[in-house]
């Protein structure tokens, strides 16, 4: 059995790696992967808390977070593909479609 502190510590490290990736990287696909990493870190924290408290609510939250993550991945990749077809780049700095 994994101790409670190790589960939350790993979750915090994974979340921090995701935040650093979002702040540093300029590739939109890597940004989406970092957001997914942060969502998975939150899922790990929910599972750790549910195991520690002998509760089912944390596992239900994991189900909802996984649903949001799947929808985010599908919609995000569709938007990236549409922008790539128009601009032929996936770098955030080159995406200025909303400018007039």
Structural domains of the chain sorted by starting position, each given as residue range(s) with its CATH number in brackets: 4-94 (1.10.287.3510)
| Residue in 32, 46, 37, 47 with CA at minimum distance from that of residue 13 | 37
Q: Which pTM was predicted?
A: 0.86
CB 65 within 8 A of CB 58: no
* pLDDT tens, position by position, 26-70: 898 999 999 999 999 999 999 999 999 999 998 999 999 999 999
């Amino acid at each position: 059995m994994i101790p409670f502190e190790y589960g939350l510590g790993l979750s915090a490290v994974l979340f921090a790696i995701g935040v650093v990736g979002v702040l540093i990287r300029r590739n939109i696909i890597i940004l989406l992967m970092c957001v997914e990493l942060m969502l998975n870190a939150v899922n790990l924290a929910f599972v750790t808390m549910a195991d520690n408290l002998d509760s089912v609510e944390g596992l239900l939250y994991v189900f909802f977070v996984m649903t949001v993550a799947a929808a985010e991945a599908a919609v995000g990749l569709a938007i990236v593909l549409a922008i790539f077809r128009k601009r032929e780049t996936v770098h955030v700095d080159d995406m200025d479609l909303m400018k007039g």
